[in-house]
Structure 1
Protein backbone atom coordinates (compact mmCIF):
# COMPACT_ATOMS: atom_id res chain seq x y z
CA UNK A 1 0.00 0.00 0.00
CA UNK A 2 1.15 3.52 -0.80
CA UNK A 3 1.37 6.25 1.81
CA UNK A 4 -1.84 8.28 1.26
CA UNK A 5 -1.00 11.65 -0.31
CA UNK A 6 -3.70 13.48 1.68
CA UNK A 7 -4.63 13.03 5.35
CA UNK A 8 -6.99 15.94 6.01
CA UNK A 9 -8.28 14.40 9.24
CA UNK A 10 -4.99 15.47 10.82
CA UNK A 11 -6.47 18.98 10.74
CA UNK A 12 -9.67 17.87 12.47
CA UNK A 13 -13.20 16.93 11.40
CA UNK A 14 -14.86 18.14 8.20
CA UNK A 15 -16.23 21.64 8.55
CA UNK A 16 -18.79 23.78 6.82
CA UNK A 17 -16.24 26.59 6.60
CA UNK A 18 -14.76 26.98 3.10
CA UNK A 19 -11.22 26.54 4.48
CA UNK A 20 -9.58 27.55 1.22
CA UNK A 21 -5.82 28.10 1.29
CA UNK A 22 -3.52 29.42 -1.46
CA UNK A 23 -1.12 26.98 -3.06
CA UNK A 24 1.75 27.40 -5.52
CA UNK A 25 0.39 27.47 -9.10
CA UNK A 26 2.79 24.68 -10.08
CA UNK A 27 1.14 22.43 -7.46
CA UNK A 28 -2.31 22.96 -9.00
CA UNK A 29 -2.44 19.72 -11.03
CA UNK A 30 0.85 18.06 -10.17
CA UNK A 31 1.66 15.56 -8.93
CA UNK A 32 -1.47 13.84 -10.19
CA UNK A 33 -1.60 11.15 -7.52
CA UNK A 34 -4.54 9.29 -9.08
CA UNK A 35 -3.68 9.29 -12.78
CA UNK A 36 -2.16 5.80 -12.85
CA UNK A 37 -5.27 4.11 -11.49
CA UNK A 38 -8.05 6.44 -12.62
CA UNK A 39 -7.28 8.04 -15.98
CA UNK A 40 -8.12 4.95 -18.08
CA UNK A 41 -11.41 4.20 -16.27
CA UNK A 42 -12.28 7.89 -16.35
CA UNK A 43 -11.79 8.13 -20.10
CA UNK A 44 -13.95 5.03 -20.58
CA UNK A 45 -16.68 6.57 -18.44
CA UNK A 46 -16.47 9.78 -20.46
CA UNK A 47 -17.00 7.80 -23.66
CA UNK A 48 -19.70 5.37 -22.53
CA UNK A 49 -21.76 7.57 -20.20
CA UNK A 50 -21.24 11.03 -21.63
CA UNK A 51 -24.76 12.24 -20.83
CA UNK A 52 -24.18 11.40 -17.16
CA UNK A 53 -20.76 12.99 -16.77
CA UNK A 54 -20.72 16.02 -19.11
CA UNK A 55 -22.90 19.09 -19.52
CA UNK A 56 -22.37 22.58 -20.92
CA UNK A 57 -24.54 25.54 -21.89
CA UNK A 58 -23.39 28.82 -23.48
CA UNK A 59 -19.85 28.31 -22.19
CA UNK A 60 -17.78 27.81 -25.34
CA UNK A 61 -15.24 30.57 -24.66
CA UNK A 62 -14.94 29.55 -21.01
CA UNK A 63 -14.36 25.88 -21.88
CA UNK A 64 -11.72 26.84 -24.41
CA UNK A 65 -9.89 29.05 -21.92
CA UNK A 66 -10.09 26.39 -19.19
CA UNK A 67 -8.75 23.74 -21.57
CA UNK A 68 -5.91 26.00 -22.71
CA UNK A 69 -4.91 26.60 -19.09
CA UNK A 70 -4.93 22.89 -18.24
CA UNK A 71 -3.21 21.68 -21.39
CA UNK A 72 -0.45 24.23 -20.83
CA UNK A 73 0.39 22.18 -17.74
CA UNK A 74 -0.27 18.67 -19.06
CA UNK A 75 0.84 18.84 -22.67
CA UNK A 76 -1.29 18.22 -25.78
CA UNK A 77 -4.63 16.45 -25.51
CA UNK A 78 -4.86 12.76 -26.35
CA UNK A 79 -7.83 11.24 -28.14
CA UNK A 80 -10.83 12.62 -30.01
CA UNK A 81 -13.23 14.57 -27.79
CA UNK A 82 -16.28 16.66 -28.61
CA UNK A 83 -15.36 19.73 -26.56
CA UNK A 84 -12.16 21.38 -25.32
CA UNK A 85 -13.23 20.81 -21.69
CA UNK A 86 -13.55 17.07 -22.24
CA UNK A 87 -10.19 16.97 -24.00
CA UNK A 88 -8.59 18.65 -21.00
CA UNK A 89 -10.49 16.50 -18.51
CA UNK A 90 -9.15 13.37 -20.21
CA UNK A 91 -5.61 14.46 -19.31
CA UNK A 92 -6.04 14.73 -15.53
CA UNK A 93 -7.69 12.67 -12.83
CA UNK A 94 -9.50 15.80 -11.64
CA UNK A 95 -13.06 16.66 -12.60
CA UNK A 96 -13.52 20.12 -14.12
CA UNK A 97 -16.41 22.47 -13.36
CA UNK A 98 -16.88 25.98 -14.72
CA UNK A 99 -18.83 28.57 -12.73
CA UNK A 100 -20.03 31.72 -14.52
CA UNK A 101 -21.75 34.87 -13.26
CA UNK A 102 -25.24 35.44 -14.63
CA UNK A 103 -26.97 38.76 -15.27
CA UNK A 104 -28.00 38.93 -11.60
CA UNK A 105 -24.44 38.42 -10.40
CA UNK A 106 -25.01 34.84 -9.24
CA UNK A 107 -22.35 32.21 -9.85
CA UNK A 108 -23.85 29.25 -11.72
CA UNK A 109 -22.51 25.88 -12.82
CA UNK A 110 -22.46 26.22 -16.61
CA UNK A 111 -20.08 23.49 -17.79
CA UNK A 112 -18.68 20.36 -16.20
CA UNK A 113 -16.87 17.12 -16.82
CA UNK A 114 -17.79 15.27 -13.64
CA UNK A 115 -16.78 11.62 -13.29
CA UNK A 116 -16.32 11.38 -9.51
CA UNK A 117 -19.42 12.94 -7.92
CA UNK A 118 -19.70 12.44 -4.18
CA UNK A 119 -23.37 11.54 -3.88
CA UNK A 120 -24.83 14.04 -6.34
CA UNK A 121 -25.63 14.00 -10.02
CA UNK A 122 -24.65 16.53 -12.63
CA UNK A 123 -28.20 16.56 -14.00
CA UNK A 124 -29.69 17.75 -10.71
CA UNK A 125 -27.09 20.45 -10.05
CA UNK A 126 -26.30 21.78 -13.53
CA UNK A 127 -27.20 25.42 -14.08
CA UNK A 128 -27.93 26.08 -10.42
CA UNK A 129 -26.42 28.97 -8.46
CA UNK A 130 -24.25 28.46 -5.38
CA UNK A 131 -27.29 28.39 -3.10
CA UNK A 132 -28.72 25.49 -5.07
CA UNK A 133 -25.43 23.63 -5.16
CA UNK A 134 -24.98 23.81 -1.39
CA UNK A 135 -28.59 23.67 -0.23
CA UNK A 136 -28.33 20.24 1.47
CA UNK A 137 -25.22 21.23 3.46
CA UNK A 138 -25.85 22.21 7.10
CA UNK A 139 -25.74 25.99 7.21
CA UNK A 140 -24.93 26.06 3.51
CA UNK A 141 -27.79 28.15 2.26
CA UNK A 142 -27.58 31.07 2.40
CA UNK A 143 -24.56 31.36 4.71
CA UNK A 144 -22.09 29.18 2.84
CA UNK A 145 -23.21 30.40 -0.58
CA UNK A 146 -22.71 34.02 0.42
CA UNK A 147 -19.22 33.36 1.78
CA UNK A 148 -18.13 31.42 -1.27
CA UNK A 149 -19.61 34.03 -3.60
CA UNK A 150 -17.51 36.71 -1.92
CA UNK A 151 -14.42 34.54 -2.36
CA UNK A 152 -15.25 34.00 -6.03
CA UNK A 153 -15.85 37.71 -6.59
CA UNK A 154 -12.54 38.70 -5.03
CA UNK A 155 -10.35 35.97 -6.48
CA UNK A 156 -7.63 37.37 -8.70
CA UNK A 157 -6.25 35.52 -11.74
CA UNK A 158 -3.06 33.60 -11.01
CA UNK A 159 -4.07 32.68 -7.47
CA UNK A 160 -5.00 29.03 -6.85
CA UNK A 161 -6.97 28.08 -3.74
CA UNK A 162 -7.23 24.56 -2.35
CA UNK A 163 -9.27 22.70 0.26
CA UNK A 164 -9.84 19.05 1.18
CA UNK A 165 -13.00 17.33 2.33
CA UNK A 166 -13.10 13.72 3.53
CA UNK A 167 -15.21 10.77 4.55
CA UNK A 168 -15.09 6.96 4.56
CA UNK A 169 -16.67 4.38 2.30
CA UNK A 170 -16.61 0.63 1.72
CA UNK A 171 -14.63 -0.17 -1.41
CA UNK A 172 -12.76 2.12 -3.79
CA UNK A 173 -15.46 3.30 -6.20
CA UNK A 174 -15.06 6.84 -7.50
CA UNK A 175 -18.15 7.31 -9.66
CA UNK A 176 -20.71 7.55 -6.84
CA UNK A 177 -23.68 9.73 -7.81
CA UNK A 178 -25.65 7.98 -5.04
CA UNK A 179 -24.56 6.86 -1.58
CA UNK A 180 -27.27 4.19 -1.39
CA UNK A 181 -25.21 1.25 -2.77
CA UNK A 182 -22.36 2.07 -0.39
CA UNK A 183 -24.71 2.20 2.58
CA UNK A 184 -26.16 -1.19 1.70
CA UNK A 185 -22.65 -2.62 1.54
CA UNK A 186 -21.73 -1.00 4.84
CA UNK A 187 -24.77 -2.47 6.55
CA UNK A 188 -23.73 -5.94 5.45
CA UNK A 189 -20.06 -5.51 6.39
CA UNK A 190 -18.69 -7.36 9.38
CA UNK A 191 -16.82 -5.31 11.97
CA UNK A 192 -13.92 -7.79 11.79
CA UNK A 193 -13.43 -6.77 8.14
CA UNK A 194 -13.69 -3.02 8.67
CA UNK A 195 -9.99 -2.17 8.74
CA UNK A 196 -9.41 -3.92 5.41
CA UNK A 197 -12.61 -2.94 3.58
CA UNK A 198 -13.16 0.67 4.61
CA UNK A 199 -11.45 3.36 2.54
CA UNK A 200 -10.62 7.00 3.16
CA UNK A 201 -12.25 9.16 0.48
CA UNK A 202 -10.62 12.57 0.12
CA UNK A 203 -12.10 15.26 -2.11
CA UNK A 204 -9.32 17.67 -3.04
CA UNK A 205 -10.80 20.84 -4.51
CA UNK A 206 -9.17 23.84 -6.15
CA UNK A 207 -10.50 27.05 -7.65
CA UNK A 208 -8.89 29.64 -9.89
CA UNK A 209 -10.23 32.53 -11.96
CA UNK A 210 -9.73 32.50 -15.71
CA UNK A 211 -8.30 35.91 -16.68
CA UNK A 212 -9.94 36.35 -20.09
CA UNK A 213 -13.52 35.26 -19.45
CA UNK A 214 -13.61 35.82 -15.68
CA UNK A 215 -15.13 32.39 -15.14
CA UNK A 216 -14.18 30.22 -12.17
CA UNK A 217 -12.51 26.86 -12.86
CA UNK A 218 -13.28 24.46 -10.05
CA UNK A 219 -11.39 21.15 -9.95
CA UNK A 220 -12.27 18.05 -7.92
CA UNK A 221 -9.83 15.19 -7.40
CA UNK A 222 -11.10 12.13 -5.56
CA UNK A 223 -8.30 10.31 -3.75
CA UNK A 224 -9.06 6.82 -2.44
CA UNK A 225 -6.83 4.91 -0.02
CA UNK A 226 -7.45 1.94 2.29
CA UNK A 227 -8.24 3.13 5.79
CA UNK A 228 -5.56 0.72 7.01
CA UNK A 229 -2.95 2.80 5.17
CA UNK A 230 -4.36 6.09 6.43
CA UNK A 231 -4.25 5.07 10.11
CA UNK A 232 -1.15 2.89 9.98
CA UNK A 233 0.55 4.75 12.84
CA UNK A 234 -0.81 5.35 16.33
CA UNK A 235 -0.56 9.11 15.75
CA UNK A 236 -2.70 8.91 12.62
CA UNK A 237 -5.19 6.51 14.22
CA UNK A 238 -5.60 8.74 17.27
CA UNK A 239 -5.99 11.84 15.09
CA UNK A 240 -8.60 10.07 12.98
CA UNK A 241 -10.48 8.93 16.09
CA UNK A 242 -10.47 12.46 17.46
CA UNK A 243 -11.70 13.96 14.19
CA UNK A 244 -14.40 11.32 13.78
CA UNK A 245 -15.72 11.71 17.30
CA UNK A 246 -15.62 15.52 17.41
CA UNK A 247 -17.45 16.21 14.15
CA UNK A 248 -20.47 18.50 14.42
CA UNK A 249 -23.60 16.30 14.69
CA UNK A 250 -25.28 18.13 11.82
CA UNK A 251 -22.28 17.48 9.59
CA UNK A 252 -22.20 13.82 10.64
CA UNK A 253 -25.88 13.49 9.69
CA UNK A 254 -25.28 15.20 6.36
CA UNK A 255 -22.44 12.80 5.58
CA UNK A 256 -24.40 9.76 6.75
CA UNK A 257 -21.70 8.78 9.22
CA UNK A 258 -24.05 6.97 11.61
CA UNK A 259 -24.11 3.93 9.35
CA UNK A 260 -20.30 3.76 9.37
CA UNK A 261 -19.73 4.46 13.05
CA UNK A 262 -19.56 0.85 14.27
CA UNK A 263 -17.20 -0.02 11.42
CA UNK A 264 -14.91 2.94 12.01
CA UNK A 265 -14.71 2.16 15.72
CA UNK A 266 -13.88 -1.46 14.95
CA UNK A 267 -11.22 -0.41 12.44
CA UNK A 268 -9.66 1.98 14.95
CA UNK A 269 -9.67 -0.71 17.63
CA UNK A 270 -7.97 -3.16 15.26
CA UNK A 271 -5.37 -0.54 14.34
CA UNK A 272 -4.64 0.70 17.86
CA UNK A 273 -5.02 -2.65 19.67
CA UNK A 274 -4.14 -5.31 17.09
CA UNK A 275 -3.38 -8.11 19.57
CA UNK A 276 -6.49 -7.59 21.69
CA UNK A 277 -8.66 -7.14 18.61
CA UNK A 278 -7.38 -10.34 17.03
CA UNK A 279 -7.94 -12.30 20.25
CA UNK A 280 -11.49 -10.93 20.48
CA UNK A 281 -12.28 -12.03 16.94
CA UNK A 282 -10.98 -15.53 17.68
CA UNK A 283 -13.14 -15.71 20.80
CA UNK A 284 -16.22 -14.68 18.82
CA UNK A 285 -15.49 -17.29 16.16
CA UNK A 286 -14.78 -20.07 18.63
Structure 2
Protein backbone atom coordinates (compact mmCIF):
# COMPACT_ATOMS: atom_id res chain seq x y z
CA UNK A 1 0.00 0.00 0.00
CA UNK A 2 1.47 3.34 -1.05
CA UNK A 3 2.04 6.23 1.31
CA UNK A 4 -0.44 9.00 0.40
CA UNK A 5 1.37 11.94 -1.21
CA UNK A 6 -0.83 14.46 0.63
CA UNK A 7 -1.85 14.35 4.28
CA UNK A 8 -3.41 17.80 4.83
CA UNK A 9 -5.08 16.73 8.09
CA UNK A 10 -1.62 16.98 9.67
CA UNK A 11 -2.09 20.77 9.44
CA UNK A 12 -5.34 20.67 11.40
CA UNK A 13 -9.05 20.93 10.55
CA UNK A 14 -10.16 22.34 7.20
CA UNK A 15 -10.99 26.01 7.51
CA UNK A 16 -12.74 28.80 5.66
CA UNK A 17 -9.58 30.81 4.88
CA UNK A 18 -8.17 30.30 1.37
CA UNK A 19 -4.92 28.90 2.79
CA UNK A 20 -2.99 29.45 -0.46
CA UNK A 21 0.80 29.16 -0.41
CA UNK A 22 3.37 29.76 -3.15
CA UNK A 23 5.17 26.78 -4.64
CA UNK A 24 8.04 26.45 -7.10
CA UNK A 25 6.81 26.57 -10.72
CA UNK A 26 8.53 23.25 -11.40
CA UNK A 27 6.33 21.66 -8.70
CA UNK A 28 3.15 22.80 -10.46
CA UNK A 29 2.06 19.70 -12.42
CA UNK A 30 3.65 17.07 -10.26
CA UNK A 31 3.90 13.51 -11.56
CA UNK A 32 0.97 11.48 -10.33
CA UNK A 33 1.57 7.85 -9.43
CA UNK A 34 -2.05 7.13 -10.34
CA UNK A 35 -1.99 9.04 -13.64
CA UNK A 36 -1.52 5.98 -15.83
CA UNK A 37 -4.56 4.30 -14.26
CA UNK A 38 -6.76 7.42 -14.26
CA UNK A 39 -6.01 8.96 -17.65
CA UNK A 40 -7.77 6.26 -19.68
CA UNK A 41 -11.11 6.51 -17.78
CA UNK A 42 -10.74 10.29 -17.69
CA UNK A 43 -10.40 10.46 -21.46
CA UNK A 44 -13.37 8.14 -21.88
CA UNK A 45 -15.43 10.37 -19.58
CA UNK A 46 -14.38 13.41 -21.61
CA UNK A 47 -15.68 11.75 -24.77
CA UNK A 48 -18.80 9.97 -23.50
CA UNK A 49 -20.10 12.72 -21.21
CA UNK A 50 -18.62 15.83 -22.77
CA UNK A 51 -21.61 18.03 -21.95
CA UNK A 52 -21.22 17.15 -18.26
CA UNK A 53 -17.47 17.70 -17.98
CA UNK A 54 -16.64 20.49 -20.45
CA UNK A 55 -17.90 24.02 -20.99
CA UNK A 56 -16.50 27.17 -22.56
CA UNK A 57 -17.82 30.56 -23.60
CA UNK A 58 -15.86 33.34 -25.30
CA UNK A 59 -12.54 32.03 -24.00
CA UNK A 60 -10.70 30.80 -27.11
CA UNK A 61 -7.55 32.82 -26.50
CA UNK A 62 -7.47 31.87 -22.84
CA UNK A 63 -7.90 28.17 -23.60
CA UNK A 64 -5.13 28.26 -26.19
CA UNK A 65 -2.73 29.98 -23.80
CA UNK A 66 -3.56 27.61 -20.94
CA UNK A 67 -3.09 24.57 -23.16
CA UNK A 68 0.26 25.86 -24.38
CA UNK A 69 1.55 26.13 -20.83
CA UNK A 70 0.24 22.70 -19.80
CA UNK A 71 1.55 20.92 -22.89
CA UNK A 72 4.94 22.55 -22.45
CA UNK A 73 5.14 20.59 -19.20
CA UNK A 74 3.62 17.31 -20.41
CA UNK A 75 4.64 16.97 -24.03
CA UNK A 76 2.45 16.89 -27.17
CA UNK A 77 -1.25 16.14 -26.93
CA UNK A 78 -2.50 12.65 -27.71
CA UNK A 79 -5.70 12.04 -29.65
CA UNK A 80 -8.18 14.32 -31.38
CA UNK A 81 -9.99 16.87 -29.24
CA UNK A 82 -12.39 19.69 -30.03
CA UNK A 83 -10.58 22.41 -28.08
CA UNK A 84 -7.02 23.09 -26.91
CA UNK A 85 -8.15 22.97 -23.28
CA UNK A 86 -9.52 19.45 -23.69
CA UNK A 87 -6.35 18.34 -25.46
CA UNK A 88 -4.29 19.59 -22.53
CA UNK A 89 -6.65 18.16 -19.92
CA UNK A 90 -6.39 14.72 -21.53
CA UNK A 91 -2.66 14.73 -20.73
CA UNK A 92 -2.88 15.29 -16.98
CA UNK A 93 -4.86 13.86 -14.08
CA UNK A 94 -5.70 17.44 -13.07
CA UNK A 95 -8.85 19.22 -14.16
CA UNK A 96 -8.32 22.60 -15.83
CA UNK A 97 -10.55 25.60 -15.15
CA UNK A 98 -10.14 29.14 -16.47
CA UNK A 99 -11.30 32.25 -14.66
CA UNK A 100 -11.62 35.49 -16.66
CA UNK A 101 -12.01 39.00 -15.23
CA UNK A 102 -15.04 40.68 -16.78
CA UNK A 103 -15.74 44.35 -17.44
CA UNK A 104 -17.16 44.75 -13.94
CA UNK A 105 -13.98 43.40 -12.36
CA UNK A 106 -15.55 40.07 -11.40
CA UNK A 107 -13.70 36.81 -11.93
CA UNK A 108 -15.95 34.35 -13.75
CA UNK A 109 -15.59 30.68 -14.67
CA UNK A 110 -15.43 30.87 -18.48
CA UNK A 111 -13.94 27.51 -19.50
CA UNK A 112 -13.46 24.19 -17.75
CA UNK A 113 -12.58 20.56 -18.28
CA UNK A 114 -13.89 19.13 -15.02
CA UNK A 115 -13.88 15.36 -14.56
CA UNK A 116 -13.42 15.17 -10.78
CA UNK A 117 -15.96 17.54 -9.21
CA UNK A 118 -16.28 17.27 -5.45
CA UNK A 119 -20.07 17.43 -5.09
CA UNK A 120 -20.84 20.19 -7.58
CA UNK A 121 -21.80 20.27 -11.23
CA UNK A 122 -20.23 22.34 -13.98
CA UNK A 123 -23.65 23.26 -15.33
CA UNK A 124 -24.60 24.88 -12.02
CA UNK A 125 -21.41 26.90 -11.61
CA UNK A 126 -20.35 27.77 -15.15
CA UNK A 127 -20.23 31.48 -15.91
CA UNK A 128 -20.76 32.50 -12.30
CA UNK A 129 -18.48 34.94 -10.46
CA UNK A 130 -16.59 34.02 -7.32
CA UNK A 131 -19.52 34.94 -5.12
CA UNK A 132 -21.69 32.41 -6.92
CA UNK A 133 -19.02 29.74 -6.83
CA UNK A 134 -18.44 30.04 -3.10
CA UNK A 135 -21.92 30.94 -1.87
CA UNK A 136 -22.49 27.58 -0.09
CA UNK A 137 -19.25 27.85 1.90
CA UNK A 138 -19.69 29.14 5.48
CA UNK A 139 -18.59 32.77 5.39
CA UNK A 140 -17.89 32.37 1.69
CA UNK A 141 -20.10 35.09 0.28
CA UNK A 142 -19.09 37.85 0.38
CA UNK A 143 -16.16 37.32 2.76
CA UNK A 144 -14.33 34.46 1.10
CA UNK A 145 -15.08 35.64 -2.43
CA UNK A 146 -13.71 39.11 -1.69
CA UNK A 147 -10.48 37.74 -0.23
CA UNK A 148 -9.94 35.37 -3.12
CA UNK A 149 -10.70 38.14 -5.63
CA UNK A 150 -7.98 40.30 -4.10
CA UNK A 151 -5.54 37.41 -4.37
CA UNK A 152 -6.50 36.88 -8.01
CA UNK A 153 -6.14 40.58 -8.80
CA UNK A 154 -2.64 40.74 -7.33
CA UNK A 155 -1.31 37.44 -8.65
CA UNK A 156 1.79 37.84 -10.82
CA UNK A 157 2.52 35.65 -13.85
CA UNK A 158 5.11 33.04 -12.92
CA UNK A 159 3.86 32.70 -9.34
CA UNK A 160 2.00 29.47 -8.56
CA UNK A 161 -0.24 29.11 -5.51
CA UNK A 162 -1.37 25.82 -3.98
CA UNK A 163 -3.88 24.63 -1.41
CA UNK A 164 -5.47 21.31 -0.39
CA UNK A 165 -8.99 20.38 0.66
CA UNK A 166 -9.78 16.97 2.12
CA UNK A 167 -12.55 14.69 3.27
CA UNK A 168 -13.38 11.00 3.39
CA UNK A 169 -15.61 8.87 1.21
CA UNK A 170 -16.62 5.21 0.90
CA UNK A 171 -14.97 3.99 -2.29
CA UNK A 172 -12.51 5.53 -4.70
CA UNK A 173 -14.72 7.31 -7.28
CA UNK A 174 -13.37 10.55 -8.69
CA UNK A 175 -16.34 11.74 -10.74
CA UNK A 176 -18.68 12.72 -7.92
CA UNK A 177 -20.96 15.61 -8.91
CA UNK A 178 -23.29 14.59 -6.07
CA UNK A 179 -22.50 13.36 -2.58
CA UNK A 180 -25.86 11.56 -2.24
CA UNK A 181 -24.71 8.14 -3.57
CA UNK A 182 -21.66 8.18 -1.30
CA UNK A 183 -23.71 9.11 1.74
CA UNK A 184 -26.18 6.32 0.99
CA UNK A 185 -23.31 3.86 0.75
CA UNK A 186 -21.88 5.15 4.02
CA UNK A 187 -25.27 4.74 5.73
CA UNK A 188 -25.34 1.08 4.72
CA UNK A 189 -21.73 0.36 5.62
CA UNK A 190 -20.92 -1.71 8.68
CA UNK A 191 -18.60 -0.13 11.22
CA UNK A 192 -16.38 -3.21 11.11
CA UNK A 193 -15.66 -2.40 7.45
CA UNK A 194 -14.93 1.30 7.95
CA UNK A 195 -11.14 1.16 8.11
CA UNK A 196 -10.94 -0.99 4.97
CA UNK A 197 -13.57 0.81 2.89
CA UNK A 198 -13.22 4.49 3.76
CA UNK A 199 -10.89 6.52 1.55
CA UNK A 200 -9.10 9.81 2.07
CA UNK A 201 -10.07 12.24 -0.70
CA UNK A 202 -7.62 15.10 -1.16
CA UNK A 203 -8.28 17.93 -3.60
CA UNK A 204 -5.03 19.64 -4.57
CA UNK A 205 -5.70 23.02 -6.17
CA UNK A 206 -3.25 25.35 -7.89
CA UNK A 207 -3.70 28.81 -9.37
CA UNK A 208 -1.49 30.70 -11.81
CA UNK A 209 -2.03 33.78 -13.96
CA UNK A 210 -1.66 33.50 -17.72
CA UNK A 211 0.78 36.23 -18.82
CA UNK A 212 -0.78 37.07 -22.21
CA UNK A 213 -4.52 37.07 -21.53
CA UNK A 214 -4.38 37.77 -17.80
CA UNK A 215 -6.80 34.93 -17.13
CA UNK A 216 -6.33 32.52 -14.24
CA UNK A 217 -5.67 28.83 -14.74
CA UNK A 218 -7.08 26.86 -11.85
CA UNK A 219 -6.10 23.18 -11.60
CA UNK A 220 -7.79 20.51 -9.50
CA UNK A 221 -6.19 17.16 -8.81
CA UNK A 222 -8.12 14.54 -6.84
CA UNK A 223 -5.92 12.05 -5.02
CA UNK A 224 -7.66 9.13 -3.35
CA UNK A 225 -6.03 6.65 -1.01
CA UNK A 226 -7.36 4.13 1.52
CA UNK A 227 -7.86 5.87 4.83
CA UNK A 228 -5.88 3.07 6.43
CA UNK A 229 -2.81 4.22 4.48
CA UNK A 230 -3.20 7.73 5.86
CA UNK A 231 -3.56 6.38 9.41
CA UNK A 232 -0.32 4.43 9.20
CA UNK A 233 1.27 5.73 12.41
CA UNK A 234 -0.05 6.63 15.87
CA UNK A 235 0.86 10.27 15.18
CA UNK A 236 -1.23 10.27 12.02
CA UNK A 237 -4.14 8.62 13.84
CA UNK A 238 -4.21 11.26 16.54
CA UNK A 239 -3.68 14.12 14.10
CA UNK A 240 -6.57 12.91 11.96
CA UNK A 241 -8.80 12.50 15.03
CA UNK A 242 -7.95 16.00 16.23
CA UNK A 243 -8.60 17.51 12.80
CA UNK A 244 -11.89 15.67 12.29
CA UNK A 245 -13.23 16.39 15.76
CA UNK A 246 -11.88 19.95 15.89
CA UNK A 247 -13.51 21.25 12.72
CA UNK A 248 -15.81 24.25 13.05
CA UNK A 249 -19.47 23.12 13.30
CA UNK A 250 -20.45 25.20 10.29
CA UNK A 251 -17.71 23.61 8.19
CA UNK A 252 -18.73 20.18 9.51
CA UNK A 253 -22.26 20.79 8.21
CA UNK A 254 -21.05 22.22 4.89
CA UNK A 255 -18.88 19.17 4.22
CA UNK A 256 -21.64 16.77 5.21
CA UNK A 257 -19.40 15.01 7.69
CA UNK A 258 -22.31 13.87 9.84
CA UNK A 259 -22.82 11.08 7.30
CA UNK A 260 -19.34 9.77 8.06
CA UNK A 261 -18.86 10.48 11.78
CA UNK A 262 -19.91 6.98 12.79
CA UNK A 263 -17.56 5.31 10.34
CA UNK A 264 -14.61 7.60 11.05
CA UNK A 265 -14.97 6.86 14.75
CA UNK A 266 -14.96 3.14 14.01
CA UNK A 267 -11.91 3.44 11.77
CA UNK A 268 -10.00 5.35 14.43
CA UNK A 269 -10.95 2.79 17.05
CA UNK A 270 -9.77 0.00 14.76
CA UNK A 271 -6.39 1.66 14.42
CA UNK A 272 -6.10 2.37 18.14
CA UNK A 273 -7.35 -1.09 19.12
CA UNK A 274 -6.09 -3.53 16.49
CA UNK A 275 -7.29 -7.10 16.25
CA UNK A 276 -5.67 -9.31 18.86
CA UNK A 277 -4.02 -12.60 18.11
CA UNK A 278 -7.20 -14.40 19.21
CA UNK A 279 -9.16 -12.52 16.55
CA UNK A 280 -11.19 -10.33 18.91
CA UNK A 281 -11.07 -6.58 19.18
CA UNK A 282 -11.16 -4.33 22.16
CA UNK A 283 -14.45 -2.66 22.95
CA UNK A 284 -14.91 0.79 21.47
CA UNK A 285 -14.22 3.57 23.92
CA UNK A 286 -16.84 6.20 24.47
CA UNK A 287 -16.04 9.54 22.92
Task: Output the TM-score relative to the length of structure 2.
Answer: 0.96
How far has the Cα of 1:32 moved from its partner?
A: 2.3
- Kept in 1: contact 2:273–2:282 (CA 8 A): no
Partner Cα separation in structure 2 for residue 163 and residue 143 of structure 1: 18
Task: Give 1:119's aligned residue.
Answer: 119
Task: Give 1:260's aligned residue.
Answer: 260
CA RMSD in angstroms comes to: 1.5
Task: Give 2:190's aligned residue.
Answer: 190
Task: Give 1:72's aligned residue.
Answer: 72
- Kept in 2: contact 1:192–1:281 (CA 8 A): no
- For residues 96-245 of structure 1, what are the structure 2 equivalents within 5 Å? 96-245=96-245
- Kept in 2: contact 1:32–1:93 (CA 8 A): yes
Segment drifting more, 33-42 vs 258-267: 33-42
- Kept in 1: contact 2:166–2:200 (CA 8 A): yes
- Kept in 1: contact 2:168–2:199 (CA 8 A): yes
Task: Output the TM-score relative to the length of structure 1.
Answer: 0.97
Where do 4+ consecutive residues of structure 1 move more than 6 Å?
A: none
Partner Cα separation in structure 1 for residue 159 and residue 186 of structure 2: 40
How far has the Cα of 1:131 moved from its partner?
A: 0.2
Gaps of 5+ in 2: none
Partner Cα separation in structure 2 for residue 224 and residue 105 of structure 1: 36
- Kept in 2: contact 1:5–1:33 (CA 8 A): no
Partner Cα separation in structure 2 for residue 75 and residue 16 of structure 1: 36
Superposed CA deviations along residues 68-101 of structure 1, whole A, max 9, x for unmatched, are: 0000000000000000000000000000000001
How far has the Cα of 1:275 moved from its partner?
A: 3.2
- Kept in 1: contact 2:200–2:230 (CA 8 A): yes
How far has the Cα of 1:113 moved from its partner?
A: 0.0
- Kept in 2: contact 1:62–1:215 (CA 8 A): yes
SS of the residue corresponding to residue 136 of structure 2 reads: coil
How far has the Cα of 1:276 moved from its partner?
A: 6.3
- Kept in 1: contact 2:46–2:53 (CA 8 A): yes
Task: Give 1:279's aligned residue.
Answer: 280
Partner Cα separation in structure 2 for residue 265 and residue 279 of structure 1: 18
Gaps of 5+ in 1: none
Superposed CA deviations along residues 101-158 of structure 1, whole A, max 9, x for unmatched, are: 1110000000000000000000000000000000000000000000000000000000
